[in-house]
Structure 1
Amino acid sequence: MKRVLLTLFILTAYLGFGQDAEEPVEEGEITATVVNAQNGFPMVSVHVINLNKVVGTITGQKGKFTIPAAVNDTLYLTFLGYKSEKVRVTSDMFKFQETEIALTELAYALEEVIVRPYQLTGYLEIDVKNLPISNNAYQYSISGLSKSYEGGSKSPSAVTKVLGAILNPADLLRNLFGKKPKQMRKLQQMKQDDDIRDLLASKFDRETLTELLQLEKVDIEDILNNCNYSRSFINTANDLQILDAISSCYEEYRVLNRR
């Protein structure tokens, strides 16, 4: 009887030790490899962003990356010419460090492009005068105020828009940012991560911004419109410039809200 009890005790202790040893890791760093879905070759310089922790990194020479993460975090992978992917972090990704993530190359249908030369001479002083100039991004400044305001086109309505925002900015910005406080707090984290800033500086599609801020493109445009940025700026700025513009407007809101 004693021998049976001793055997049961040893078996129970062994099973308990095994369960502790195999208990899944919930948070830490994960390492994975990004490959081309067509040929399986590792991909270098792919941007990887943890959307939950708002940290980024890029893949190395062998396509590998390491990034802080927790179970159920979402990784966002993007590379020029490839379809962006979102990957949910699982406990197996901590247990097995050989996870492969495949990116698929995009197929673009090229359209005919008509190039109209500007008859450049090669002399900078002369060619600058011959290039077309956009007149859609006028800025208005008011004596006594430290900043200028973009009003879009040169028209009376543009001036009215600027004055309206200056005279009653608290209500305007509260409506914009009060509904998305969590997403807006990510702005500072995004601005402090060099990898994310480098990625945004090279992009113009607002795709990464919408994923990070959990906003639609139309929401981003509404914010910039109501913060007195011109249509020309909204259409031509890269994603980093858009981020800085939203951040500047948000900081103004925070100051006004404290008052």
Structure 2
Amino acid sequence: MRHLLILILCLTTVYGYSQDTTATKTPSKVKGTLVSSTTSLPLAEANIVNINEVVGTATNDDGEFEIRAKVNDTLHLSYLGYKSIKVRVTNDWVKFGNTEIAMTELALALEEVTVKQLELTGYLEVDMNQVPITSNNRYRISGLPGQGYEAGKPNLASRVLGAIFNPADFLYNMFGRKPNEMRKLKKMKEDDEIRSHLSKRFDREMLLVLLQVTRYDLDEIVNQCNYSKDFINTANDLQILDAISICYEEYKVIKNSKERKNNKKE
């Protein structure tokens, strides 16, 4: 009888552990309510995107949403006029249901910026110390695609020299070092909610979050894919997504072609 009890206890423990593990790994749905931190009123039509699962949704008139997610997934929440936030899905959230999340309004007042002009004294040694070593000037290399390069930025020399010796290097390096993020392009294009959100946006924020790239790199990808400056400046986020997706597909074709040629040589 004692052995039977021990066996039952072990089976119960294993079963409970397997259930908990399954709940952690299997995508389920989490519910939440977005409210303003200042008014406590619900925020309707806010954008919610699961960065890991690459699915999106929006809040209803009561600020409520439901989205597919599993434990440790990250949700990106954004709403016009409010500071975007990222929240991690916890085990308690999955188990116990609706969670209220407060979003903070963006500051309306801009910080006052004082611009100090150079005041030359006429003494060379004194005036030289006032002149900044780096500036914010942009330089363009004739004959090469690109909007230009900014002096004083990190890795300026490597970017410029890379473009001189091989203008395609930027795309190979960018796409090559972020294969997982670029694979998300297909999922992003297939999700109607995400496409709907992106079609109404022009701030590139959601694209930066999903692709895990900087604003500079995102602009350079589109630029190096031979899209015009007017397109980059006026396109909505969905158009930018489609442009990058087309460019990435072309990159994969070229990459595979080069690999086949290299294999034949060997």
TM-score, length of structure 1 as denominator length = 0.68
Cα distance 1:171–1:90, how it changes in 2: closer, same or farther (>3 A)? same
Q: Which residue does the alignment assign to 1:208?
A: 206
Which residue of 206, 215, 220 maps to 1:217? 215
Q: Which residue does the alignment assign to 1:54?
A: 54
CA-to-aligned-CA distance 1:135-176 (integer Å, 9 cap, x gap): xxxxxxxxxxxxxxxxxxxxx946x649xx9xx887564233
For residues 23 and 205 of structure 1, what CA distance do their matches in structure 2 show? 40
For residues 219 and 243 of structure 2, what CA distance do their matches in structure 1 show? 11
Q: Which residue does the alignment assign to 1:192?
A: 190
Q: CA deviation at 1:109?
A: 3.0
Note the 1:77-156 alignment, pairs <5 A: 77-109=77-109
Q: CA deviation at 1:94?
A: 1.1
Which residue of 17, 20, 24 maps to 2:16? 20
* Counterpart contact for 1:34–1:64, Cα < 8 Å: yes
Q: CA deviation at 1:229?
A: 1.8
Which residue of 226, 232, 236 maps to 1:228? 226
For residues 60 and 80 of structure 1, what CA distance do their matches in structure 2 show? 15
For residues 244 and 253 of structure 1, what CA distance do their matches in structure 2 show? 14
For residues 58 and 35 of structure 1, what CA distance do their matches in structure 2 show? 13
For residues 40 and 170 of structure 1, what CA distance do their matches in structure 2 show? 51
* Counterpart contact for 2:30–2:98, Cα < 8 Å: no
For residues 202 and 216 of structure 2, what CA distance do their matches in structure 1 show? 15
For residues 229 and 61 of structure 1, what CA distance do their matches in structure 2 show? 39
CA RMSD across the alignment: 3.2
* Counterpart contact for 1:30–1:93, Cα < 8 Å: yes
Unmatched 5+ stretches in structure 2: 111-140, 147-162, 258-266
For residues 250 and 84 of structure 2, what CA distance do their matches in structure 1 show? 33
Q: CA deviation at 1:193?
A: 1.0
The secondary structure found in structure 2 opposite 1:101 is: strand
For residues 250 and 78 of structure 1, what CA distance do their matches in structure 2 show? 27
The secondary structure found in structure 1 opposite 2:213 is: coil
Q: CA deviation at 1:33?
A: 1.3
For residues 77 and 53 of structure 2, what CA distance do their matches in structure 1 show? 14
Note the 1:140-179 alignment, pairs <5 A: 157=142, 161=145, 173-179=171-177
Q: CA deviation at 1:192?
A: 1.1
For residues 107 and 212 of structure 1, what CA distance do their matches in structure 2 show? 25
The secondary structure found in structure 2 opposite 1:29 is: strand
The secondary structure found in structure 2 opposite 1:34 is: strand
Q: Which residue does the alignment assign to 2:73?
A: 73
Q: Aligned letter for 2:184?
A: K
Q: CA deviation at 1:199?
A: 1.3
For residues 250 and 23 of structure 1, what CA distance do their matches in structure 2 show? 39
For residues 32 and 97 of structure 2, what CA distance do their matches in structure 1 show? 6
Q: CA deviation at 1:198?
A: 1.5
By relative contact order (CA 8 Å, sep 6+), the higher-ranking structure is: 1
Q: CA deviation at 1:239?
A: 1.3
Q: Aligned letter for 1:187?
A: L
* Counterpart contact for 2:145–2:223, Cα < 8 Å: no
* Counterpart contact for 2:49–2:194, Cα < 8 Å: yes
Q: Which residue does the alignment assign to 1:35?
A: 35
- Give the total of aligned pairs: 205
TM-score, length of structure 2 as denominator length = 0.67
Q: Which runs of 4+ in 1 moved over 6 A?
A: none
